[in-house]
A = this chain, B = another copy of it.
């Protein structure tokens, strides 16, 4: 992914992302935390957790997809208007290696912001106990900014 610089439309975008993140029961249940944030880019971190595995003991593909979806969603949300909520229209994920490791890091970045649709990309990496990193999944994800539907964040 190429480095990009975006201007947030809300000065308090960090607070907005943090509050929305805190409302996601899914991230809390997975033990995922917001690690870093910049306009249009969000990194989420998560330790290995046996409760969220597939049949071979690796993190379930859906676990990886869940955190990447949130990373992409909040990356997009960080650039949205104050009156916008964010919904995922679709995503595609490619799995490159088994999700085994001590910790996992999930980066979501905006590729192209838009008033209605926002394209984002994600990368998931596994880290072993020595800190070595391995790319395990990539995502492309389309978000929609939703207004006036009685939901926020």
Question: What is the distance, in angstroms, from A1's C-beta to the closest C-beta of chain B?
Answer: 6
What total of chain A residues lie within 8 Å of the partner, measured CB to CB? 53
Instruction: List the B residue with the shortest CB-CB distance to A77.
Output: B55
Contacts of A117 in B (CB 8 A): 89, 144
A85 to B111, CA, bound (A): 25
Residues 97 to 136 of chain A near chain B (Cβ within 8 Å): 97-98, 111-112, 116-117, 119, 121, 135
Contacts of A28 in B (CB 8 A): 51
Question: Is the CB of A61 closer than 8 A to any CB of chain B?
Answer: yes
Known: A111-B138, A121-B138. 5 other contacts (CB 8 A): A23-B56, A24-B60, A89-B94, A91-B93, A92-B93
Residues 24 to 78 of chain A near chain B (Cβ within 8 Å): 24-26, 28-29, 50-56, 60-63, 65-67, 69-70, 73
